[in-house]
Amino acid sequence: METFESFDGTQLAIHRQGKGRPVVLLHGLFSSAHMNWIKWGHGARLADAGFEAIMLDFRVHGQSASPQEPAAYPGGVLVRDALALVEHLGLAPGEYDLVGFSLGARTALHGCAGGVLEPRRLIACGMGVEGLANWERRAAHFIRVIDEFDTIKPGSPLYTARTFLKSQGTDHVGARLLLGAMDAFDVAALANITMPSAVICGDEDGDNGSGRELADMLPDAVFVETPGNHLNSVTKPELGGAIVAFLSAS
């Protein structure tokens, strides 16, 4: 693990596996590089295939810092963190591939649609159109979990999310500030994403809407289905296999 300073001086953690063409990987909400990419072997699969997996911990996640000041959460903060990583690594447009899961996928799509991130190939995992267009609903769900954390009991529709946040040791102050910093996404901007892309979703994953619909809205994209739902598709080897296959295609 190493750290670097993001655009505002916040210390962010990077995890690396392998040597070869760089692949930047962005994890899901309240997860981490370890939970999404390292623990289940996806980084190792990329390394074995001749890539360098470069896995960021977003602010408030994993081994990165969790600032407590509202000023540390401007609009589009995660896109700016991802760009800071690309600039820190000295990667020019087209010199890297970009992979995101769930929130990481939303961040990657947001950055590419705005011309901020310019990978050679893009992969969005666990994401559909609803997760882009209706982020406020999902953010409100997690804000409620944080605000009601100590009173949520088994059987509540909030209990699964509460359990996950507790297992990750998520900082509540930073998490709430981060949830309020997510910019709205105009799905019409998907037309700006012209690099070859893949949308990879579990066959039981509807948490963020239809991945197939998202792939259809991208100018140059394929849809790939792997086993699992939103929580467990990332634990299965088929996800890493699909990522490697798409990035290895000529």
Q: What is the residue-averaged pLDDT of the chain?
A: 95
Summarize the confidence of residues 150-173 as an average pLDDT. Answer: 89
Q: Provide the residue ranges of all domains of the chain, joining segments of one domain with +.
A: 2-134+182-248
Which CATH code fits 2-134+182-248?
3.40.50.1820
pTM (two decimals):
0.94
Q: Once rounded to an integer, what is the mean pLDDT over residues 97-124? A: 97
pLDDT tens digits, one per residue of 6-16: 999 999 999 99
CA atoms of 92 and 22, how far apart (whole Å)? 11
Question: What region, left, alpha or beta, does residue 30 occupy, with left being phi > 0 and alpha being psi -120 to 50 degrees?
Answer: left
pLDDT at 168: 85
Q: Are 59 and 174 in contact (CB under 8 A)?
A: yes
Counted residue by residue, the chain has a size of: 250
**How many other C-beta atoms are found inside a 10 Å radius of the C-beta of residue 74?**
12
d(CA 70, CA 173): 10
Report the distance separating Cα 113 and Cα 127, nearest Å: 15
164 has pLDDT over 90: no
- The pLDDT of residue 170 is 87
Among 80-84, 185-189, 198-202, which stretch is predicted with the lowest mean pLDDT? 185-189
**How many Cα atoms within 13 Å fall on the side-chain side of residue 110?**
26
Report how far apart, in Å, the C-alpha atoms of 58 and of each of 35, 135, 145 are.
13, 18, 20
**Straight-line distance from the first to the last Cα atom of the chain, in angstroms, rounded to the nearest whole number:** 31
- In this prediction, residue 183 carries a pLDDT of 80
- Predicted pLDDT of residue 80: 97
